[in-house]
């Protein structure tokens, strides 16, 4: 619509005027991902968003995603102004792991190395020995296991269980889940697979184990896009937020992508596999943030220093 075009022009102008760059997650709306691409920003998973933002010479980062992504950007780039289209965009993993309860859990298990998923608040990261994203979680846990360490893992129990099954590590799991991925149903994937027997199944490991067990490839968003390119299959059944289809279809224009069903009867639910918090990022509030300077992320110096340690471990481990 005309209104969108007006917002797009305004955002492009403000990005230049304010020496700002747009960093967007794969799960945001197509229009936002497209704008990030067109303006020299990036569309990525949370690890690459953080790296890109830290390396970029812009003085303002506009982070289209959810709260923890903005916080991570600020922790890694304290000298930059970090804006988000809305500060209301959170994550069920973050919400389900409050700092006080998490600290008590850690205190009760002092013999364990604390590894937290990136989808957590700065305060929870501050309590951790390691932060990981789903792209490198298995490798980090293998590394710790080789040193004989026992793990306390938070917050995603499905991802934790998946890593445990891959590595055999001793992991104590926090009871958290992603409300989007938890909805995928094995029965629905099996039914779809019976209609398209040659389709490969791609699953993000925030999904239940019964769904991951059907996967030809389980991995992070960036790993799933890579797999879509490398697999010979022409048809792909994809169990992750449908925002990923924008970049995945670009990567494999000739392949047919199916959303994995979120209902047991095999019917594809058009609205379930989309994160309600990612969906809060829109062209109008993005333009508003740049115009008014709203949605700025602040992290106290103390918290920043504490959270930087486990984040730096992650970045250095991968480098």
Among 54, 87, 179, 303, binds ligand SF4 (CB under 6 A): 179
Residue 304: which region, alpha, beta or left (left: phi > 0; alpha: psi -120 to 50)? Answer: alpha
Q: Is 238 in the site for ligand SF4 (CB under 6 A)?
A: no
Pairing of strands 60-64, 42-44: unpaired
- The sheet with strand 81-83 has its strands ordered as 42-44, 20-25, 60-64, 81-83
Among 76, 97, 244, 275, binds ligand SF4 (CB under 6 A): 275
Per-residue x/- mask for ligand CIZ, residues 175 to 194, rule CB under 6 A?
A: ---x----------------
Number of residues that bind ligand SF4 (CB under 6 A): 14
Options 87-95, 183-191, 212-220, 291-299: segment touching ligand SF4 (CB under 6 A): 87-95
Number of residues that bind ligand CIZ (CB under 6 A): 12
When CB distances are held under 5 to 8 angstroms depending on the partner's kind, the choice from ligand CIZ, ligand SF4, none that residue 134 binds is ligand CIZ
CB atoms inside a 10 Å sphere around CB 174:
22
Q: Is 120 in the site for ligand CIZ (CB under 6 A)?
A: no
Among 241, 246, 282, 299, binds ligand SF4 (CB under 6 A): 241
Nearer to ligand CIZ, 294 or 318 (CB): 318
How many helices and strands in the chain, by DSSP H and E?
A: 15, 12
Residue 300 buriedness (CB in 10 A; 0-12 / 13-18 / 19+): exposed
Residue 115: which region, alpha, beta or left (left: phi > 0; alpha: psi -120 to 50)? Answer: beta
Nearer to ligand CIZ, 167 or 221 (CB): 221
Q: Is 91 in the site for ligand SF4 (CB under 6 A)?
A: yes
Nearer to ligand CIZ, 8 or 75 (CB): 75
169: phi then psi, degrees, rounded to nearest 5: -70, 155
Cis peptide before 155 (omega within 30 of 0): yes
Chain residues 290-319 in contact with ligand SF4, contact rule CB under 6 A: none
Residue 316 buriedness (CB in 10 A; 0-12 / 13-18 / 19+): exposed
Nearer to ligand CIZ, 72 or 288 (CB): 72
Among 28, 33, 86, 92, binds ligand SF4 (CB under 6 A): 92
When CB distances are held under 5 to 8 angstroms depending on the partner's kind, the choice from ligand CIZ, ligand SF4, none that residue 92 binds is ligand SF4
Q: What angle do CA 34, 35, 41 make, to 5 degrees?
A: 105
Question: What sign results for the dihedral spanned by CA atoms 120, 287, 21, 294?
Answer: negative
Integer angstrom CA distances of residue 100 from 104, 107, 124, 126, 127: 6, 10, 9, 12, 10
Residue 291 C-beta: closest distance to ligand CIZ, Å: 27
Among 29, 45, 71, 94, binds ligand CIZ (CB under 6 A): 45
When CB distances are held under 5 to 8 angstroms depending on the partner's kind, the choice from ligand SF4, ligand CIZ, none that residue 179 binds is ligand SF4
Q: Could you identify the residue written with the tokens 């480098």?
A: 319
Q: Is 73 in the site for ligand SF4 (CB under 6 A)?
A: no
* Nearest alpha-carbon partner for 10 in 62, 56, 59: 62
Residues that bind ligand SF4 (CB under 6 A): 27, 66, 91-93, 119, 178-180, 206, 241, 275, 277-278
Residues that bind ligand CIZ (CB under 6 A): 25, 45-46, 118-119, 133-134, 178, 204, 206, 220-221
């Amino acid at each position: 619509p005309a209104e969108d075009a007006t917002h797009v022009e305004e955002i492009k102008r403000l990005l230049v005027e304010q020496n700002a760059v747009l960093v967007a997650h794969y799960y945001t709306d197509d229009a936002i991902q497209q704008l990030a691409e067109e303006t020299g920003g990036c569309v990525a998973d949370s690890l690459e968003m953080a790296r890109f933002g830290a390396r970029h010479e812009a003085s303002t980062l506009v982070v289209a995603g959810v709260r923890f992504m903005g916080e991570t950007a600020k922790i890694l780039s304290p000298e930059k102004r970090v804006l988000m289209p809305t500060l209301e965009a959170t994550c069920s993993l973050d919400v389900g792991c409050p700092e006080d309860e998490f600290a008590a859990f850690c205190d009760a298990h002092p013999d364990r190395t604390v590894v937290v998923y990136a989808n957590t608040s700065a305060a929870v990261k501050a309590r951790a020995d390691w932060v990981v994203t789903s792209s490198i979680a298995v490798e980090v846990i293998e590394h710790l296991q080789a040193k004989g360490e026992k793990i306390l893992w938070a917050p995603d129990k499905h991802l934790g269980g998946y890593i445990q099954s891959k590595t055999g590590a001793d992991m104590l799991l926090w009871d958290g889940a992603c409300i989007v991925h938890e909805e995928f149903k094995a029965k629905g994937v099996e039914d779809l697979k019976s209609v398209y027997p040659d389709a490969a199944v791609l699953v993000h490991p925030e999904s239940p184990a019964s769904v991951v067990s059907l996967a030809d490839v389980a991995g992070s968003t960036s790993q799933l896009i890579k797999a879509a390119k490398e697999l010979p299959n022409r048809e792909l059944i994809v169990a992750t937020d449908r925002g990923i289809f924008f970049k995945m279809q670009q990567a494999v224009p000739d392949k047919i992508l199916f959303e994995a069903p979120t209902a047991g009867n095999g019917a594809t639910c058009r609205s379930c596999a989309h994160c309600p918090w990612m969906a809060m990022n829109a062209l109008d509030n993005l333009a508003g943030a740049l115009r008014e300077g709203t949605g700025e992320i602040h992290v106290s110096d103390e918290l920043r220093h504490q959270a930087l340690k486990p984040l730096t471990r992650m970045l250095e481990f991968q480098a």
